[in-house]
Structure formats: structure tokens, C-alpha cells
Structure 1
Amino acid sequence: MRILLTVGLTGLLAAPAFAAEMEISIEIPKLDVAEYHRPYVAVWLEGPDKKVAANLAVWYDVANAKKEGDKWLKDLRQWWRRTGRTLTVPADGLTSATRAPGTHDVKLDASHPALKDLAAGQYELIVEAAREVGGREVVRIPLQWPPEKGATAAAKGEHELGSVAVNVKP
């Protein structure tokens, strides 16, 4: 009886915890323009069917006293058409303020609400940026979730986004 109990406890303690991680690095370039506005940015995952699998981050003017920041979210055209118009903002753990030029990280693990129920498979990480009195840009990076082994992939925007990289760890 002791042997069975010991084996049972050992089996329970030895079960590996699912601890996959995703770190996204997004560079917002410093632009030399007459009128500069921080870009709105949306980050999400799409499956092979081009449907949104998970919203990961939305940076917009959340502090605007008149809530006017919300109306400009539709300038993130691809995100807005696929999922944004059905989302209630602000959303805990998803929405936050716009970012200044520089490199910004979004760190998520498998317990994050956007990833915890995400089915295993191939996805595209999509980062879209739109700036008032500016342009709009979309960067796509393919990735596997959950990762079987650590991997890094990157892409570079041309004007509204600089380098975008994703690092996944099992």
C-alpha cells in the first residue's frame, strides 16, 4: 500500500506544468514630421482561416476625458474589421495608453486569458499601427503555439513600425 501511495504522489509531483511564454517586442520609430501623434497599435493572433484567435494588446488614447480616443480605434482598419468593433474598451489586461517612440515589450504566458484556451497550431502574430496625420502599417509574423522549442521571429516595418519580434519559449 505504501508503494502505491508513493508512486501516486510521485506521479502527481512529476507532472510538468504548462509554462509557455510569448514576448513581443515592438519598436515605434521616431519620425521627423511637423505634427507628431503617438500611434494607436493593435496586436493579435490569427489562425490559418484568417479569423482572430486572440487579442493580445491595444494601445490607444485611453485617458481622453471626452472618450474621443475610442472613435479613432477604427483607424486600425484590419483589427477593427476583424474584432475591434465587437470589443468593449477599455478591457482589463488588453488595452492601455499609446506609447512614445522606442522599443516596448508585451510579455504573456500560457495562463494569460488570451492564451490559456488557445488551441495548438500555426498562427500569425499581427501588429497594426495607425497614426493621426500619419500613416498606417501592418506587420505579420508566423508562429507556432504552444512552442515545442524556443524560437524567435522578426519583421520590420517601413514607416509607422520599426522592428517587431516575437520570442516564444516552451
Structure 2
Amino acid sequence: MKRLISRRSLIYRATGLALSLWAGRSLAQAPKLPAGMKLDIAFEIAAPGGFRYRPPYVAVWIENAQGLPLRTLAVWFEQSGKGARWLQELRRWASQNGQPPEAVSGPTRMPGRYTLVWDGKDERGNLVAQGDYYVCIEMAREHGPYELFREKLTLGSAALSRSYPGEGELKGVALSYGKQG
């Protein structure tokens, strides 16, 4: 018995094959980030005055140029039994990631300056291609303020350094890309 394929089905299949071959070809040709480069992400959590302080939940991650999560660097939240239910307050991170990886989750942090390092690898440990990436820092508190810092960077073989003034509890974000060491 012969199997008939409609013209529309043939066009869809051929288009899908052509697009997947083209996407694979362009990914294969994109140069990887140079080994030994790192991105330092420094930020400060400021203490608001006037009330009993509860540290905010914080998520820090890297997104690709399409806005899809590439690697979660840290998720800080209350580690008690009820703490995880407030992870949904980290709206962007929670909608993309769900549950935090054990390796990067930890308790909330008190006010202070913190630095996280991205080694240019995805969640699987593979070096990513040179190009555009977003650095995301999200802060939230149960029934409290919400902040999202999201900045686009073009990463390649050249070093860069940028600073951003903070608003609210997230003060002074500094991004520095260059050789490790």
C-alpha cells in the first residue's frame, strides 16, 4: 500500500528540515567564548530603614539573546519549609526555571555587597558561543517590593566593564568581563 503525502505536508516537512539544517550550520560556525574568560557580577543589597528587615529572595542568571535561561548562578531564598512557596515572587526566574538547582540555591543574604562569577558555560558545562547575552538579577520579598535588573551584553574576545546605579534595594550593579586570574 502506497502512502500519500499531501503537498502541504511535504512543504512543511521540507521547510522544517531546511530551517533545522540552517540553524545547525549557523550554530556550528559560531565561535565559542575564549577559554579563561569570566564575567564578574557585583551588586549590593541595601537595607531599607524603618521596619523589621526580612532579607529579599534573590535570583541571578544568564539568558541568551532570545531571552531563554542559559544558566542560573544563584537563588537565595528562605530554606525553611514555607520558604519555597515564595519563590513565585521571583516572577521572571520562576516562570522560566521553576525549582532552583541544589548546587546554586542557598539562604537569603543580609544587606551587603556580593559578587558572582559566570565562567561562560551553560548548565551542561559547555562553553557558549560569542554573542549577545542578558545578565538578570531579580529581587523580591513576600508581599513586598520587586526589582528586576536585566542588561544586554555582547561577549566575545574583548574585555568590558560597566556600572549601573541602583534603585530601591538593589544598589550599584557592576559587570566586568575579562581574563580569569
3-state SS of 2:84 partner: helix
**Residue 143 of structure 1 aligns with which residue?**
153
- Native 8 Å contact 1:76 1:130 kept in 2: yes
**Residue 131 of structure 2 aligns with which residue?**
121
Deviations 1:138-167 (A, max 9, x none): 11222233x312111222331121111111
Q: What pairs with 1:86-165 in structure 2 (closer than 5 Å)? A: 87=99, 89=100, 91-92=102-103, 94-110=104-120, 113=123, 116-145=126-155, 147-165=156-174
Measure how far apart 1:119 and its partner are.
2.9
- Root-mean-square deviation (Å): 2.1
- Native 8 Å contact 2:47 2:53 kept in 1: no
Counterpart Cα distance in 2 of 1:49 and 1:108: 19
What amino acid is aligned across from residue 153 of structure 1 in structure 2?
A: R
Cα–Cα, structure 1 residues 111 and 26, in superposed 2: closer, same or farther, change >3 Å?
same
TM-score under structure 2 length normalisation: 0.72
Counterpart Cα distance in 1 of 2:151 and 2:83: 28
Q: State the percentage of identical aligned residues.
A: 30
Deviations 1:59-88 (A, max 9, x none): 1112x1xx21111110001111122x2x3x
3-state SS of 1:74 partner: helix
- Native 8 Å contact 2:121 2:128 kept in 1: no
- Native 8 Å contact 1:130 1:160 kept in 2: no
3-state SS of 2:113 partner: strand
2:180 corresponds to 1:166: no
| Number of matched pairs | 146
TM-score under structure 1 length normalisation: 0.76
Could you tell me which runs of 5 or more consecutive residues in structure 1 were left unpaired when the two chains were aligned: 1-16
Cα–Cα, structure 1 residues 137 and 43, in superposed 2: closer, same or farther, change >3 Å?
same
Counterpart Cα distance in 1 of 2:115 and 2:89: 23
Measure how far apart 1:133 and its partner are.
4.3
Cα–Cα, structure 1 residues 20 and 115, in superposed 2: closer, same or farther, change >3 Å?
farther
- Native 8 Å contact 1:54 1:115 kept in 2: no
- Native 8 Å contact 1:21 1:169 kept in 2: yes
Cα–Cα, structure 1 residues 153 and 141, in superposed 2: closer, same or farther, change >3 Å?
farther
- Native 8 Å contact 2:45 2:171 kept in 1: yes
Counterpart Cα distance in 2 of 1:120 and 1:52: 16
- Native 8 Å contact 1:141 1:155 kept in 2: no
Task: Select the structure of larger CA radius of gyration.
Answer: 2
- Native 8 Å contact 1:40 1:131 kept in 2: yes
Of 106-115 and 31-40, deviating more is 106-115
**Residue 38 of structure 1 aligns with which residue?**
55
